[in-house]
Amino acid sequence: MLDKNIDKLIIKFVENTATLDEQVKLKQFLEIEKNRAYFDEYVELNYLINSKVKFDYNNTLDEVMGKIESKPKSLIMYKYLKYAAAIILLISTGYFLTKNQVKTTSKVVIDNKIPIGTDKATLTLEDGSTVALEKGKVYKNNKVSSDGKKIVYQSEIDKQAEKLAYNYLTIPRGGEFFIELSDGTKVWLNADSKLKYPIAFKEGEPRKIELLYGEAYFDVSPSTDHNGDSFIVNLLEQEIEVLGTEFNVKAYKEEKIATTTLVEGKVAVKTNNEMSLLVPNQQLVFTKETDAFLIKTVDVKNVVSWKSGYFSFSELSFNETINLLSRWYNVEFIIENKNLFKIKFNGVLSKNQNIENILQSFKNTNNIKYEIKENKIYLK
């Protein structure tokens, strides 16, 4: 039986917050072969996602032991960083960091006032009134309840109403939220998003909702559970029809494209009166300015990792990366060095870390200097 605190220790290690004593404890844990398999599986599942990076235990365990015992606390475990860099750092140039690329640095003192994103949203009721939803705050009426982390609607089908009543859920920058609709459909909403939906769906009619802007992951209640009533998501000039499936939709106001990515099942996307069928691992990319679209194959794990607490990058442009961080941390980036737009990023980033850790990785891997002034970050 594994110590239940080992998971916490692994998390602290890969997020670079483990003390020297904790690092020694983890090293001792990894000296047992079966524990290494557990470590590999845990990190791959919770951090690496689809990374091919593997840790060479046989050649480095003794060296790690020596470094831990002989070096002061401020020094980083070099060989472990070869493994952890893929987890923690944003890596440009298309390669994971090697030992020679990691600089010995003192622990970063975090004193900025920029908070990490968290669960929060604004619920707009049918009468126009609003309710702030956030951690530690409970809300309930006769149709819906929220514990501050999610909002759940009463399971109900409206059989009589001539006109459906709608609510809106708005997620601010620096927030995210989960909602379960009255038909049982589950929706994860990313930062800076807004969803329009009926309090209850009408029997015998398609279950229609609208993503006004932002990003959402849908786990749709099958039509077979609702007398064949299909589920439709309206988005810009697009209509996405599903029978029961999981997919991700992204359409931010400041971005030139909108994407629909199918995880499992089947969806039909209607664009410019043209119907396109997607199969799992396919993504429809819609260009707003020209109304043109194309379908391509993608790694869905990279696309949907955000809802599990991580951002996964594969050749992500500098501009897209900055937009993503800007929304999650609710900050403004001022780019003083235009050459930075040439950088591509690969790797996996935990959302549950201070933004200065990420900025330090920028500095270490690309020599990108930064300065924080209140809610603005200057990249030089």
End-to-end CA distance of the chain: 50
> Any idea where the domains of the chain sit in the sequence?
1-114+329-380, 118-298
- State the pLDDT at residue 366: 75
DSSP string computed for 178-219: EEE-TTS-EEEE-SSEEEEEESSEETTS-EEEEEEEEEEEEE
Bridge partners, residue 162, by sequence: none
| CATH for the stretch 118-298 | 2.60.120.1440
Residue 377: burial class (beta carbons within 10 Å; 0-12, 13-18, 19+): buried
CA dist list (Å): 115 to 326, 328, 347, 356:
12, 9, 23, 11
Query: pLDDT band at 286, cuts 50/70/90?
Result: very high
Q: How many CB atoms lie within 10 A of CB 40?
A: 16
Residue 123: burial class (beta carbons within 10 Å; 0-12, 13-18, 19+): buried
- The answer, yes or no, to whether residue 78 has pLDDT greater than 50, is no
R_g of the chain computed on alpha carbons: 23
Please tell me which of 72-81, 266-275, 340-349 the model is most confident about, judged by mean pLDDT.
266-275
- State the pLDDT at residue 92: 30
Nearest by Cα to 324 from 159, 117, 160 = 117
Nearest by Cα to 263 from 239, 299, 223 = 299
What's the mean pLDDT when you consider all of the chain? 80
- The answer, yes or no, to whether residue 65 has pLDDT greater than 80, is no
Q: How far is residue 192 CA from its own chain's centroid?
A: 13
Tens-place pLDDT, residues 204-262: 899 999 999 999 999 999 988 888 899 999 998 899 999 779 999 999 999 999 999 99
Tokens of 278: 């997607």
Report the alpha-carbon distance of residue 265 to residue 219 in Å, rounded.
10
On the CB side of 377, CA atoms within 13 Å amount to 22
Query: pLDDT band at 82, cuts 50/70/90?
Result: very low
Residue that is written with structure tokens 């992500």 in the block = 316
Pairing of strands 118-124, 175-180: parallel
Number of H helices, E strands in the chain: 8, 26
Query: pLDDT band at 361, cuts 50/70/90?
Result: confident
